[in-house]
Amino acid sequence: MSEWQSAANRAQLQVLMEQKLAQFPGLLFNFSQPIATRVDELLSGVKAQLAIKLFGADLDVLVAKGQQIEQAVKSVAGAKDVAMEQIAGEAQLVIKPNRLALSRYGLSVGDLMSIVQDGIGGTAAGQIINANERYDIYVRIGAEFRDSPEAIADLRLSSPTGAVVRVGDVATVNIESGPPQVRRDDVQRRVVIQANVQGRDMGSVVADIRLAIAEQVDLPAGYGVNIGGQFENQQRAQQRLSIVVPISLALIALLLYFAFGSIGQALLILVNVPLAVIGGVVAIYVSGQYLSVPSSVGFITLFGVAVLNGVVMVESINNRVKAGDSLQSAAFNGALSRLRPVLMTALTSALGLIPMLISTGIGAEIQKPLATVIVGGLFTATFLTLFVLPVLYAQFSQQFYRVNGNKN
């Protein structure tokens, strides 16, 4: 990248490439990276972030409705590189037998198709053996007699009655446009409209795509749309996180209760979590990023650091309460004595993540959201630990003070 002359980063290079290539009609653009492309292809079979799959039985209907969906998706803000895969346009030689004409000459459809199969495709007439290698010998009609529909229509058939008829007399021979291949998912025919997401979060773009399809495309009975790709993977990950995160917080609360023997103090330490979340959300918003799986993992890491600092602070205050200090004096002196350790923990964590925070190379799309959440959340979590937590200590620790404090 240090040798690039026309662009300073990948996004600018992508824009320039798109502008230069837009003058060539019929090209399908998808700007990605090698590993990202392979991951997208493994997820949905499409080398793009979103795979909008239209399922149905009739290929012609799939093409027509797929084109309508393509136009609807293009109107959605944030959807880039929108294109429908090609399922038509393949030149095919089609020979349709005329059964009435065949019966007139005493011929069957098999007689007609045998000359097509053997004469044009070829038939094995033997093998050439070269040591361990074996090669089939194929015999077929010369190229000048099969290089056009007219030449094929002029091929001769011998009927059982002795008559010689042309292929064109008992069949129609044409070059027609057909599908290069018929793709299926779950035993259903489908067509895919691929798209990438740029400038918006994936969840809102998918919501707008579904709304646009519902409003602009009238699907017949038996046809349905499914959106897969990275969005599908993100939904699965968020479903797992929606189960894992509450269970983790519940286990943390249980361990805090066992450690301090007080429900109030366990809740006091857990107050760190929401303020840490606020910092992470603000950091994501300010940096122009969106909630993703890496940022969700960053929140989980942030919870651990916030709870750890809270444990250090509350334990220090508790020791002073047990030594005979009043609640106010214990809270002030305990917070003051833990100022340096808490700041060191936050600063070392934040400084260690700065390279990830400013990274722009390969893998930055994973590293940067995670680091942004942790660094942003550490600021608010540290503020809470040093200032808000000591202030709230007295309200949450009345039971602990009655049991362990100086009663004189």
Nearest to 384 by CA among 270, 228, 300, 282: 270
List of residues 6+ apart from 135 with CB closer than 8 A: 127, 128
Q: What is the pLDDT of residue 408?
A: 40
pLDDT digits 0-9 by tens, 216-257 = 888 888 888 888 777 777 778 778 888 888 888 888 889 888
Residue type at 216?
Answer: Q
- Fold agreement (10-86+182-229, 90-178): no
| Averaged pLDDT score across all residues of the chain | 82
Band of pLDDT at residue 362, cut at 50, 70 and 90? low
pLDDT in tens, 155-208: 888 888 788 888 888 898 888 877 777 777 777 888 888 888 887 878 888 889
Decide: helix, strand or coil at residue 224: strand
Question: CATH says 90-178 is which class?
Answer: alpha beta
CA–CA gap between residue 154 and residue 166 (Å, rounded): 5
Which of 70-74, 250-254, 295-299 is the least confident region? 295-299
Integer CA distances (angstroms), 190 to 53, 88, 185, 217, 230, in order: 6, 13, 7, 16, 19
124-140 as b/e: b if 16+ CB within 10 A = eeeeeeeeeeeeeeeee
Question: Tell me: the pLDDT tens digits for 82-104?
Answer: 888 777 777 788 889 999 988 88
Q: Assign a CATH topology to domain 10-86+182-229.
A: Alpha-Beta Plaits (3.30.70)
| Topology of the domain comprising 261-404 | Multidrug efflux transporter AcrB transmembrane fold (1.20.1640)
Q: Where do the domains of the chain lie?
A: 10-86+182-229, 90-178, 261-404
Mean of pLDDT values over 269-273:
84
